[in-house]
Amino acid sequence: MISETTASHAPNLAASAPHLINVFPEQQPDVSVIVVVHNEDEYLKQAFDSILAQDGVQVETVVVCNEPTAASLEIVNAYAAENSGFIVEVQGNTGPSGGRNTGMKLANGRYLMFLDGDDFLEGNQLQQLVQIADQDNLDLVSFDSASYRDDSASDSDWEKFKSYGTMRYKYDKPVPGVELMAQMRLNGEYQTVVWKYLIRRDLALRLGPSPHIMVQRHSDDLFTFSVYLEAARSLHVPLVFHRRRVRAQSLSTAIDQINLNASSDGYLVGYVEALKKVAPLDLPVELFNPIASIVDGLLQAYFRDLAAVNPASRTDIDRLFRKDYPDIFGVILARFIKRYDSQGSANPPTHSGLTAIVIRICERFHIPTARLSRIYRRTAARFAHPLARLKTLAK
């Protein structure tokens, strides 16, 4: 079935790009691999060939073209015309998260995978992962990734990413996702990149579209965190199935004011949404502390990137934040920090450190002092300092 679509920001390209729905009529696909494409024409053939190389499993390739270059679109169309099981959608550039949200809506497979257009799959191993997921009734399967150095990669970028993606510890017993996430966090191995996972599609659809649609960076953080929280059964398979290409000017390696801006925005939205998810949970201390530290890490990353952004380059994410979150954010934050501080930990955050976070975030987003005072009164047992003294801790 072929119909025309229109991309709002690239009508001249969309006009030549059919929306292809080439489903398998006899059987539901085992896996839908979602590929978001923008300007990866140099690498797309290797990515698509690695998907087509998977035998013994029914694979559907969902390609979402985010305002693609002409060269990228030409490659996509050629593969879709020559190979069955391709779905192609052309749209404006909504970033990786918007493209993935579109891909999930179009996907038909029992499981989902994500592959960036400049990465590729290693060997013919998808069948093994699907068999494990089916046999153990898993919602989430983690696997290993190995970095691949592109000729354009700098020495510093390669040193930063060359070891990312391969686990050192074993996680081979099926457990709830929240337990697997906590174990990985305690071992320093929790990773949010979506291309390291095979995810049951029904679970992903229950989560709904990611609120990261408003940001362009770190869209994986909340989605992966939410999948772990919702997964009833999960494990890690020590199998290198994904290859990450380290190259110049990718989203991971390009550092400028625009990307720093987007990075801080992404961390902030991820922090608030993750906080809303985890604060009400009734978890035992051995799970709550590592999960809470993941959430806290998003806020620390936000402040780190924010410090490097030129104020003149700031986006309007602050305005969006003030509009969407203030009514609930302060109370949720206080509840979260009170529990985080009272649970006890081998390395608990200091009172002053947590208090500084409260002050900095509330003052930055203009949560009124009166409301802040009410929040402190609700948690008076752990806030010993007067409000005026607390404010000095954030400076």
Q: End-to-end alpha-carbon separation of the chain, Å?
A: 61
Looking at residue 275, its pLDDT comes to 79
Query: What's the CA gap between 259 and 337, in Å, rounded?
Result: 30
Q: Give the DSSP letter string of 39-59.
A: S-TTTHHHHHHHHHT--SS-E
For residue 27, give Cα distances in angstroms to 63, 126, 160, 205. 20, 18, 43, 20
By the 10 Å C-beta count (0-12 exposed, 13-18 middle, 19+ buried), 188 is classed as: exposed
Structural domains in the chain, sorted by start: 2-246 (3.90.550.10), 257-393 (no CATH)
- Choose among 324, 330, 337: nearest CA to 373: 330
Query: What's the CA gap between 73 and 78, in Å, rounded?
Result: 9
Strand 140-149 and strand 197-200: pairing?
Answer: antiparallel
The pLDDT tens digits for 283-319 are: 888 998 899 889 888 877 877 777 676 665 555 445 5
pTM: 0.78
- Residue recorded with tokens 């994986």: 220
CB 360 within 8 A of CB 303: yes
Query: What's the CA gap between 389 and 111, in Å, rounded?
Result: 53
Positive or negative: CA dihedral 34, 299, 146, 228? negative
Dig out the tokens for 201 from the structure: 């599609």
Contacts of 217 (CB under 8 A, 6+ apart): 251, 259, 262, 263, 265, 266
Query: What's the CA gap between 197 and 55, in Å, rounded?
Result: 19
Strands (E), the chain: 2-4, 18-20, 31-37, 59-66, 86-91, 111-116, 120-121, 140-149, 197-200, 234-246
> Residue 230 — left, alpha, or beta (φ > 0 → left; ψ -120 to 50 → alpha)?
alpha
Neighbours of 210 (CB within 10 A): 22
Dig out the tokens for 140 from the structure: 């989430």
Looking at residue 337, its pLDDT comes to 57
Query: What's the CA gap between 194 and 220, in Å, rounded?
Result: 6
- Choose among 296, 351, 362: nearest CA to 329: 362
- Choose among 33, 37, 193, 49: nearest CA to 108: 33
Looking at residue 91, its pLDDT comes to 87
355: three-class secondary structure by DSSP: helix
Query: What's the CA gap between 73 and 64, in Å, rounded?
Result: 10
Query: What's the CA gap between 335 and 331, in Å, rounded?
Result: 6
- Choose among 84, 91, 43: nearest CA to 67: 91
Looking at residue 94, its pLDDT comes to 77
Stretches in the chain below the pLDDT threshold 70? 1-26, 208-217, 248-261, 307, 309-395
Contacts of 298 (CB under 8 A, 6+ apart): 221, 267, 270, 271, 274
Looking at residue 342, its pLDDT comes to 55
